[in-house]
A and B are shown apart, each in its own frame.
Chain A
Amino acid sequence: MNPFTPWSALAGGALIGLSASLVLLGLGRVAGVSGMVSGALQRQPAEAGWRLSFIAGLLLAGAAAMALDPALLGPSARSWPELVAAGMLVGLGTRMGNGCTSGHGVCGLSRGSPRSVVAVVAFMSAGVISATLTGVLRGAP
């Protein structure tokens, strides 16, 4: 049911890593999406501008994916209440924890940040428990 796709995963990861490297060496910033979102909501153009542009880039990539094959942006089987709860948790948690899978997982671990190591262990554990519990209670998507 779930095909094992290590090569596209590796390649996709490499692209993510490359992009984060360009952001670091080009803009001197950390490419953490949750930070982009928080920062984009600020009022100073110096802080919000480049972040909004990055997010626009994400949307561009999504548009290209839609043109290629909408299945690339696969559907979610969760109900609206679950999506609201999940979204709130993600928004709250990433802001409180100052990072997400890209900020802590990719950028933080790449520079050996102890905060990121702790964060990654925490969100991975919570993610596994959450997904496994939901799978048991609701059935796999």
Chain B
Amino acid sequence: MTRTRTWLFSLGCGTLFGAGLVLSGMTQPAKVIGFLNVLGDWDPSLMFVMLGAIAVHALAYRLVPRAKRPLLADTFAIPSRRDIDLKLIVGALLFGAGWGLAGYCPGPALVALDTWRPSVIVFVLAMLTGTLLAGRLEHWLHHRNRRAAPASTAPHGPHPIPEAAAQPRAAGEANGVR
């Protein structure tokens, strides 16, 4: 597995994904809002996007246990957390609020950058700012918790148990961040 091959493969996947977003109508904010605005001229089309995607993708997860390793990587890095915390719920609510307001979620917004429209650029810049801010906040909270819990023995070792349950950062962000 070479890095170039991995990146080219990923490029291909991204292009396919983007094509799917365009074909499905997700890159048209009016259509997204038409689906989410239940008092307007309701258009249920986008429900079929998720149905179509899950119908195909669920099959892939059945193949994972049978595969020893991915084609181009050493291991599978599938998020395994099962706990439901306030951070998840609040985060999802905030995301939904933003999505319903502009009709853009991350993927379609990036695809739409090719229009060079100021509205898209403004949205994407704001989105990146929000992401970075959340990251900083997470980082700050994490270090504040560590300072408040001097019982931890190794400064660079595993995190103290209460934190690991709240904000797991094991193996980099790979397992936590989707």
Contacts and interface: CB of A to CB of B under 8 A. Distances in A.
Contact of B26 (A1, A12, A54): A12
A62 B29 contact: no
A14 B54 CA distance: 8
A90 B124 CA distance: 9
Contact of A97 (B91, B133, B135, B172): B91
B161 interface: no
Interface residues of A, number: 122
Contacts of A78: 29, 101-103, 119
Given A90-B106, A130-B101, A13 B95 contact: no
Given A19-B13, A33-B110, A96 B3 contact: no
Contacts of B18: 57-62, 65
A135 B42 CA distance: 11
A90 B67 CA distance: 35
B25 to A, nearest CB: 6
Interface stretch (B74-82, B142-150, B152-160): B74-82
A27 B6 contact: yes
Nearest to B80: A113
B134 interface: yes
Interface in A100-133: 100-111, 113-115, 118-120, 122-133
Interface magnitude class on chain B: 35 or more
B128 interface: yes
Instruction: Tell which of A59, A76, A113, A122 has the most Cβ of chain B within 10 Å.
Output: A76
Nearest to A103: B178
Instruction: Tell which of A2, A50, A135 has the most Cβ of chain B within 10 Å.
Output: A2
B166 interface: no
B60 A20 contact: yes
B30 A2 contact: yes
Nearest to B82: A114
B73 to A, nearest CB: 4
Contact of A64 (B19, B73, B124): B19
Given A29-B77, A91-B129, A73 B112 contact: yes
A82 B17 contact: no
B111 A73 contact: yes
Given A32-B178, A99-B178, A126-B93, A56 B14 contact: yes
B79 to A, nearest CB: 6
A66 B60 contact: no
A103 B53 CA distance: 12
Given A98-B176, A122-B96, 9 more contacts: A16-B20, A22-B16, A28-B76, A59-B110, A86-B102, A92-B133, A105-B50, A126-B97, A140-B34
Sort A-B residue pairs by CB-CB distance and give the 6 closest, nearest first.
A57-B14, A91-B130, A12-B24, A61-B18, A13-B52, A87-B126
13 contacts: A6-B45, A12-B23, A15-B20, A41-B132, A76-B117, A77-B29, A87-B109, A102-B106, A126-B93, A126-B96, A126-B100, A128-B37, A130-B98
